[in-house]
Every structure is written in structure tokens, then in C-alpha cells.
Amino acid sequence: MTCAHALSRAGIHVQVFEKSRGIGGRMNTRRAEGWQCDLGALYFTASTRQFQDQIDLWIADGTVVPWHPRLAVYHGRRAYPHRGKDVMRYVGAPKMNAMLSCVDGSFPLHRNTRVESLERRGDNWHLRITDGPMFPESFDAVVCAIPAQQAIPLVKPWSAELSRTASSVDMLPCWAAAAHFEREVRTDFDAAFINAGPLRWVARDDSKPNRPALETWLIHASPRWSKDHLESTAEEVSTWLMQSLEDLLGHRPSSCHAHRWRYADTAVPLHVGAKWDNDTKIGLCGDWLSAGKVEGAWRSGTLLAEQMIQSCVSTLPASHLRMLSIMR
């Protein structure tokens, strides 16, 4: 979305294809029956001035707020106060992907539309849509802003170099779950890192600002446990994670909804920023190319847009730039 927004601000006609109903990908918030829970990214931080400046703009427009959780670390069955480096943590408000609402609307967005493959006809790119016909319009360039493993089948027939880049990283799964309690769970922390066993992280979702005041806890299983249970059903995983949470907090959740992230995080992310192949006019961006996390995804999208605009500038007279259209 960052890349699409930057391109469209440069006068390039962009269309975005999203396989899900909602936007924001792994910055997902599940909403149902009066509760909500951030099932993907927990929060984000800024390590660079540029991303901090962007966060400050989001704070100014009210879509991002700081989150000050009381943090703990579990060693064995005991929780200790977290003594790690004090970093500023931010969340979207009222849901994690709230900041995307200001870019949504800047370009056509096709939801529930999964791009199955890319086809080249002359100088144009055509998109084959899963369970549907070929998309009727053609494009000058294509950006794959998706996890590495999902990008491989799209780029492999066209670029050995891009395919090699995507194949060079390993992405780890994560089973996440939202657990609901009838009554308040009293703890002296809002969120805890867990160093052993099936769980990696638990957090009281309603300790984040602007959330419904319902006792809802997020559970993230560890990469190891998630890998071992990757093909289990959501019902099975809900049962196991509910039990683990009860063991930890001493209270039984009344219900639980599990979600599998097949490609949650990059084992060892690349530090190349983004990839633009000027011969094929295919670009790759995403967290896995730029040190990981929300900040990496934002930086990667920004960098790719800059590279694409630069390549337009070097091949076209400046006056033509605003007329250039990704969509024919």
C-alpha cells in the first residue's frame, strides 16, 4: 500500500489486487460479535528517522497511537517484570491497519482477488486471477508486495534473479488465537514474552488504546510449535492454545478463535531494501527484503516506488512522467 500510494502520488496509475477481503495483510485485526483482536503484528517500532516521521504523521491524523503495556517475561511458570530496552511501541487505532484508510481510495483496489500468475504479451503484463478470467486490462509494470514464498511462483517464469532472491529466504509460520473471558483476568502485566513451551507471546488486546473493553487476549504460538502443528485444524489449535493460556493465567477462556499465518516472519530477513528488474518491469517489495517487521515493509515499499519512479525519469522526458500509466 505504501508503494502503491507513492507511485500514485507521482502520477502513475496504479491498481492493487488483494486476495483477502480486508487490507493490511499481516497487520490484521479480527472483529466479530462485539470483540476485536490484533491477530498479526502486535505493535510496531521505529529505528529510523524516516519511519518515525511517518509515524508522527499517522499520530497527527489519529490513526496511530503509542501503546504503553506493562510487560513481563515468563521464565518457566513465573512471570518477571520485563527489564529490556525501553522502546516506544505504536499500534493502529482503533485497529492495527487504521493508517491504511488514508491511502485506500487513492487507487482502485480489487479485494478478494488473488493473482494466480503473470503473463507477458508484447510489452504488457496480464494478470490471471484465481477462479476467474484473465483481468481485462494490461499493465506496464508489476509489483509483488507479498511474502517471499508467495512471490516465487509469480516471478519464476520471468526472472531467474528475482526468483533466486525470493527463494533465498525462509519464512516461519505462526498460529495466533484470540481468547475471550467472561470476567476480568487480573494480572500485573498486559503482555508477556514467553521463553519456553508452545507459547511465545500473550497480550490483553483491550490494554491497547481505543479497543472495546472486552476481556480478549491474543496468543502467539512459538515458530517451532506452529511448524509442528501447521496442518492441524483451527479447532484443534484453539483447544490446545486455550489450555496453554489457562495454565499460564489460571483462568479458563470461554471461547477462542485460531488463525494460521503460514508466512508470519522471515527467519533471516534480507537487507537489500527492494528489488526492481528494469528488463522485465517486475518489482519485489515487502518486510522480508528490508530487515523485517512493519518498519521494513514500509521502507521496502517506499524504496521500490523511488526506484520505479527513477527508472521512469531516466527513460522518459520529465514532462511525460505524470502521463505515464502503469495501467494501459
Ligand X SMILES: Cc1cc2nc3c(=O)[nH]c(=O)nc-3n(C[C@H](O)[C@H](O)[C@H](O)COP(=O)(O)OP(=O)(O)OC[C@H]3O[C@@H](n4cnc5c(N)ncnc54)[C@H](O)[C@@H]3O)c2cc1C
The reply to whether 176 sits near ligand X by the rule CB under 6 A is yes
Q: Which is nearer to ligand X, 13 or 259 (CB)?
A: 259
Least distance in Å: CB of 183 to ligand X? 27
CA distance 24 to 78: 35
Choice from 7, 145, 155, 284 touching ligand X (CB under 6 A):
145
Q: Which is nearer to ligand X, 42 or 162 (CB)?
A: 42
**Residue 264, SS3 per DSSP:** strand
Least distance in Å: CB of 269 to ligand X? 9
Per the CB < 8 A criterion, the answer to whether 24 and 39 are in contact is no
Least distance in Å: CB of 37 to ligand X? 12
Least distance in Å: CB of 323 to ligand X? 28
CA distance 176 to 160: 34
Q: Which is nearer to ligand X, 193 or 324 (CB)?
A: 193
Q: How far is CA 15 from the centre of its chain?
A: 19
Choice from 79, 179, 256, 264 touching ligand X (CB under 6 A):
264
The reply to whether 43 sits near ligand X by the rule CB under 6 A is yes
Q: Which is nearer to ligand X, 114 or 156 (CB)?
A: 114
Over its C-alpha atoms, the chain yields an Rg (Å, rounded) of 21
Least distance in Å: CB of 318 to ligand X? 30
Choice from 8, 14, 25, 99 touching ligand X (CB under 6 A):
25
The residue type at 84: G
* Per rule CB under 6 A, count of chain residues that contact ligand X: 30
User: What does residue 315 show for φ and ψ, rounded to 5 degrees?
Assistant: -105, -10
The reply to whether 27 sits near ligand X by the rule CB under 6 A is yes
The reply to whether 294 sits near ligand X by the rule CB under 6 A is yes
The reply to whether 103 sits near ligand X by the rule CB under 6 A is no
The reply to whether 293 sits near ligand X by the rule CB under 6 A is yes
Least distance in Å: CB of 260 to ligand X? 10
The reply to whether 47 sits near ligand X by the rule CB under 6 A is no
Question: What is the three-state SS of 152-204?
Answer: HHHHCCCCHHHHHHHHCCCEEEEEEEEEECCCCCCCCCCEEEECCCCEEEEEE
Question: What is the three-state SS of 68-111?
Answer: CCCEEEEECCEEEECCCCCCCEEEECCCCCHHHHHCCCCCCEEC
The reply to whether 40 sits near ligand X by the rule CB under 6 A is yes
Contact segment (CB under 6 A) with ligand X among 160-168, 186-194, 227-235, 290-298 equals 290-298
Residue with cell 508477556: 192
Least distance in Å: CB of 309 to ligand X? 19
> What residues have CB less than 8 Å from 231, skipping those under 6 apart?
none
The reply to whether 7 sits near ligand X by the rule CB under 6 A is no
**Residue 235, SS3 per DSSP:** helix
Question: How far lies 202's CA from each of 70, 175, 193, 210, 215, in Å?
Answer: 12, 12, 7, 19, 13
> What residues have CB less than 8 Å from 133, skipping those under 6 apart?
none
The reply to whether 202 sits near ligand X by the rule CB under 6 A is no
The reply to whether 257 sits near ligand X by the rule CB under 6 A is no
Contact segment (CB under 6 A) with ligand X among 131-139, 237-245, 259-267, 312-320 equals 259-267
Residues that bind ligand X (CB under 6 A): 17-20, 25-27, 40-44, 114-115, 145-147, 150, 174, 176, 220, 261, 264-265, 286-287, 292-294, 297
